[in-house]
Amino acid sequence: MNLKQFKQAGHWPTLFAAFLYFDVSFMVWVMLGPLSLYISKDLGLALEEKFTIVAIPILCGAALRIPLGMLADHLGPKRTGLMAQVIVMLGMAYVCLFGLHSKLEVEILGLILGVAGASFAVALPQASRWYPPHYQGVVMGVAGAGNMGVVLDSMIVPWLAERFGWQTVFGFLLIPLLLVFIIYAVLVKDAPERRKPVTLRSYGALLKDADCWWFMFFYSITFGGFVGLGNALPLYFSNYYHVSGIAAGLMVAIVVFAGSMFRPVGGLLADRIGGIRALQILFMVVSLSYFTVSLMPEGPAPNVGQITDAKVAGWSLLEMPPVAWFSTAIFFIGAMALGMGNGSVFQLVPLRFRGEIGVMTGLVGAAGGIGGFFLAKALGISWAVQHSFTGGFGIFAGLPLLGLFGLFWVKKRWRTTWGAVSGAQV
């Protein structure tokens, strides 16, 4: 790819600002994952309830993507993005000042954090509309790589919670939110391309198209897996391998780093070999990774004398048993494939639905969030029923195989219809 031509093809300040907006929004969207270890300890919640509270922001983010996408088409992406950021910052400020005192308050916070998760429906179309078809894979990959915010969460949130308390974490995270708000307000420019008026009828019309459902299903596997693991793995590592809150955060950071950084690679790969072929390979890797993890044994717990006075105590990163490191390596490979799969799906979506990209981003993004919600819930139910995570991961090992079957079903029709006139590799 010629970087000079790429820079001239669109509006790079908007792409950069959309990346930052999605980054910090994703960071706060999944912050209950690492914080759940600390909040739930103060509230005395059972493990299955912990998986529920980390799943709520994912579900709310999925549900809010459609109305936020509609607002972006009516008011403009920039105005909508600014408004959504203000709502999230106000919610964060409230918790910083007054705290959380019940499960209901945590669930209400999850709803507010869902507004941050819905940023997907604003940031990605905002960047996409500036660029021609043959750059869609890499553009959507770069803008979507903002989901590396979960890496920052996993690294710094447990450390801050241990030293300053979980309530203060909300105040610390307000700082990057405010900085990005200012950068976004200054740099972003809405594309000159005219937008079609979007109503609920617009969504209904697309839902009658079989291709729309295929893309939603594929993204529920790739993005759903990524965001579900980002929120659920701190609980998994701390309870299954008995590691400390800080160690669990660092392990999750290693895993989600792969998914975040390889999303643009997935888009670039799809631009080169076609999104269908890329997804076929990646679905096989994801399925194998989930299946391997489902068979992993529980790790040993530390002796009483080895437990520190940390708020969430357990093995430190350097003391973890080998089985925990092996599990992290498998998750790393799986998350890498999931991240690349995200980029591959969104190489195809703008080619098939160029004129309805805002609506499709909302629908496909919502499906991805729903997939993440069910992954987190499945792990919680699996633990409650089996005292094991085998069933939860086993179910999600089968979904990529269904996705692989779906690709075989549609690939000939896609390549001989809209793919043949798209101007890009399909």
Q: pLDDT of the chain along its 426 residues, tens only?
A: 555 666 666 778 888 888 889 889 988 998 998 998 899 888 888 888 889 899 999 999 888 988 887 888 788 889 999 999 999 999 999 999 999 988 899 999 999 999 998 887 788 778 877 777 767 767 766 776 666 677 878 889 999 999 999 999 999 999 999 999 999 999 988 877 666 667 778 788 889 999 999 999 999 999 999 989 988 999 999 999 999 999 999 999 999 888 888 887 888 888 889 899 999 999 999 999 999 999 999 999 887 655 566 788 888 888 899 999 999 999 999 999 999 999 899 889 888 887 777 678 778 888 998 999 999 999 999 998 888 899 999 999 999 999 999 999 999 999 989 888 777 788
Q: Residue 110: its pLDDT value, please?
A: 93
What are the structural domains of the chain?
13-184+210-412 (1.20.1250.20)
Q: Residue 170: its pLDDT value, please?
A: 96
Cα–Cα distance for residue pair 106/56, rounded to 1 Å: 9
User: First and final CA of the chain: distance in angstroms?
Assistant: 17
- C-alpha dihedral sign at 187, 192, 196, 197: positive
Q: Residue 160: its pLDDT value, please?
A: 93
Q: Residue 71: its pLDDT value, please?
A: 85
CA 146 to chain centre: 9
In 3D space, the residue among 338, 347, 333 whose CA is nearest the CA of residue 425 turns out to be 347
Percent of residues in the chain assigned helix, strand, coil, to nearest 5: 80, 0, 15
Cα–Cα distance for residue pair 141/273, rounded to 1 Å: 15
Cα–Cα distance for residue pair 135/10, rounded to 1 Å: 10
Q: Residue 94: its pLDDT value, please?
A: 96
Give me the residue label for tokens 């914080």. 35
Question: What is the token pair recorded at 42?
Answer: 């103060």
Cα–Cα distance for residue pair 123/140, rounded to 1 Å: 9
Q: Residue 366: its pLDDT value, please?
A: 87
Q: Are the C-beta atoms of residues 211 and 352 closer than 8 Å to each other?
A: yes
